């Protein structure tokens, strides 16, 4: 079976997911992509470019797997002579209806922000199957649709929501977790506990709250080291420069890891991952850190309770910033208990491609046979 994976924003987690599925799938997976930059333009113009590639290269897949960054309706319209009978699955890494907007972006103020969410909506209508990377993402998107459509003046076609519901399901994100095992390192004996940040340097990860915790710990004389990893698309929140200066004597590493091996080694060295994110449809960086035996301190919301059951591991969750601070401080003061939660690694191992690729394959085979 031939699968064409179409993604106009081929970078970062999108790229890793696409290449991971191509590598571990038993199907023939071909990638049709564009460089991962100018995300707004990719959502509008990417479909035209990729449809042209489709025609020029005479692709003839048995199934099309598109991501949420593609304007699927335009792509299918422009490839209609060749794709009309081809089943289409749409995979939501994120969506532009519930994704929080940056305070520095002018589009919400100018009321230009809803058009991106509408592309997600029409793409979901056009697809044969709509797939979400987590239950949280699935639920939040579908629950947001009624209010999103009510902003339009008339003919909102609210019945279309049920059409999307009936063809929607959760298909967890696949990750190559076992590659971390190739770069395992042991923590240094007698070394203070290491606090980790391994997310994007963006507003939605709430770095202000994260570093505010560390400033308080430093002021109280609590001993810790700091590793800051991750990437930034454009200007980073100012708190990063402030933190780099104020915490300079505690920093073991600061900035993007130059290789996957280096990134893995820093994760293995880390002890604590206090997570302050306001948005995470899945939480790749959190899952990776947990796999490397880093103890997470998670808000009891978003997708995190799907990875770690709160009732079984209440010590990993918090409700308020004060509770997070108290748990972080306690763990830093009693470091001997930090690496006694090996079941957490086992829980997230289910996201490894070696476990998930066959689940993807089976789903796409069924979709192909149903439409065929």
Q: What is the pLDDT of residues 2-29, one digit of tens each?
A: 999 999 999 999 999 999 999 999 999 9
Confidence tier at 232 by pLDDT (50, 70, 90): confident
* Mean of pLDDT values over 334-349: 81
Residue 335 confidence (pLDDT): 82
Q: What is the CATH number of the domain that holds 209?
A: 3.40.50.2000
* Mean of pLDDT values over 245-268: 97
Q: Does the pLDDT of residue 329 top 70, yes or no? A: yes
Same domain, yes or no, for 45 and 57? yes
User: Which distant-in-sequence residues (6+ apart) come within 8 Å of 323 by Cβ?
Assistant: none
Same domain, yes or no, for 116 and 160? yes
Closest listed residue to residue 331, CA positions, set 309, 315, 347? 315
Same domain, yes or no, for 214 and 322? yes
User: Which distant-in-sequence residues (6+ apart) come within 8 Å of 327 by Cβ?
Assistant: 297, 315, 318
pLDDT in tens, 88-131: 999 999 999 997 755 555 554 445 458 999 999 999 999 999 99
Structural domain range at position 34: 2-176+352-371
Residue 101 confidence (pLDDT): 54
Q: Does the pLDDT of residue 356 top 50, yes or no? A: yes
Same domain, yes or no, for 153 and 266? no
Same domain, yes or no, for 201 and 325? yes
Confidence tier at 201 by pLDDT (50, 70, 90): very high
Mean pLDDT of the chain: 94
Q: Is there a contact between 43 and 119 (Cβ–Cβ < 8 Å)? A: yes
Same domain, yes or no, for 91 and 135? yes
* Mean of pLDDT values over 280-288: 98
Q: What ranges in 89-132 are assigned the alpha helix state H? A: 114-126
Range of lowest pLDDT (136-140, 242-246, 335-339, 347-351): 335-339
Same domain, yes or no, for 142 and 247? no
Count of structural domains within the chain = 2
Measured distance CA(360)–CA(364) in Å, rounded: 6
Helix 321-333 and helix 207-219, axial crossing angle in degrees, nearest 10 = 50
Percent of the chain with pLDDT over 70: 94
Residue 7 confidence (pLDDT): 98
Residue 186 confidence (pLDDT): 87
Measured distance CA(26)–CA(68) in Å, rounded: 24
Residue 339 confidence (pLDDT): 62
Residue keyed to tokens 């290269």: 57
Same domain, yes or no, for 224 and 291? yes
Q: What ranges in the chain are assigned the alpha helix state H? A: 12-24, 39-56, 72-78, 80-83, 114-126, 135-150, 160-166, 207-219, 239-246, 260-269, 284-291, 304-307, 321-333, 343-348, 353-371
Same domain, yes or no, for 254 and 305? yes
Residue keyed to tokens 């993007």: 256
Same domain, yes or no, for 100 and 229? no
Closest listed residue to residue 122, CA positions, set 77, 55, 59? 77
Residue keyed to tokens 């046979």: 369
Distances (CA, A) of 101 to 94, 105, 112, 118, 191: 13, 7, 12, 15, 39
Residue 342 confidence (pLDDT): 67
Same domain, yes or no, for 300 and 358? no
Closest listed residue to residue 39, CA positions, set 80, 87, 99? 99
Q: Is there a contact between 204 and 278 (Cβ–Cβ < 8 Å)? A: yes
Distances (CA, A) of 288 to 82, 107, 204, 270, 340: 40, 33, 19, 12, 17
192: its two tokens: 């203070």
Same domain, yes or no, for 327 and 204? yes
Residue keyed to tokens 């692709």: 59
Residue 110 confidence (pLDDT): 43
Residue 59 confidence (pLDDT): 86
Torsion of CA 236, 140, 303, 244, to 10 degrees: 10
């Amino acid at each position: 079976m031939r699968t064409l994976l179409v993604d106009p924003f081929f970078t970062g987690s999108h790229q890793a997911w696409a290449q991971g599925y191509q590598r571990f799938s038993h199907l023939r997976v071909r990638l049709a992509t564009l460089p991962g930059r100018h995300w707004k333009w990719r959502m509008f113009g990417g479909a035209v470019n990729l449809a042209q590639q489709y025609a020029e290269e005479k692709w003839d897949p048995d199934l099309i797997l598109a991501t949420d960054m593609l304007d699927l309706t335009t792509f299918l319209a422009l490839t209609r002579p060749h794709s009309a009978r081809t089943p289409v699955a749409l995979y939501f890494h994120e969506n532009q209806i519930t994704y929080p907007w940056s305070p520095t972006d002018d589009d919400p103020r100018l009321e230009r922000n809803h058009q991106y969410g509408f592309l997600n909506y029409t793409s979901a209508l056009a697809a044969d199957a709509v797939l979400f990377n987590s239950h949280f993402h699935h639920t939040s998107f579908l629950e947001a649709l009624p209010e999103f459509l009510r902003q339009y003046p008339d003919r909102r076609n609210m019945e279309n929501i049920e059409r999307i519901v009936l063809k929607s399901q959760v298909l967890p994100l696949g990750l190559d977790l076992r590659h971390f095992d190739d770069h395992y390192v042991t923590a240094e004996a007698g070394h203070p506990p290491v606090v980790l940040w391994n997310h994007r340097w963006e507003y939605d990860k709430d770095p202000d709250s994260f570093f505010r915790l560390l400033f308080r710990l430093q002021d109280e004389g609590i001993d810790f080291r700091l590793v800051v990893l991750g990437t930034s698309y454009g200007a980073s929140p100012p708190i990063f420069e402030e933190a780099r200066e104020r915490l300079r004597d505690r920093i073991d590493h600061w900035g993007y890891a130059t290789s996957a091996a280096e990134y893995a080694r820093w994760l293995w060295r880390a002890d604590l991952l206090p997570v302050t994110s306001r948005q995470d449809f899945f939480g790749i960086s959190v899952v990776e850190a947990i796999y490397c035996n880093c103890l997470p301190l998670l808000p009891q919301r978003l997708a995190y309770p799907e990875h770690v059951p709160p009732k079984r591991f209440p010590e990993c969750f918090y409700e308020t910033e004060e509770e997070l601070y108290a748990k972080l401080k306690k763990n830093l003061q009693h470091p001997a208990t930090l690496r006694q939660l090996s079941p957490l690694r086992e829980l997230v191992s289910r996201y490894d491609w070696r476990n998930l690729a066959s689940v993807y394959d089976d789903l796409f085979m069924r979709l192909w046979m149903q439409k065929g």
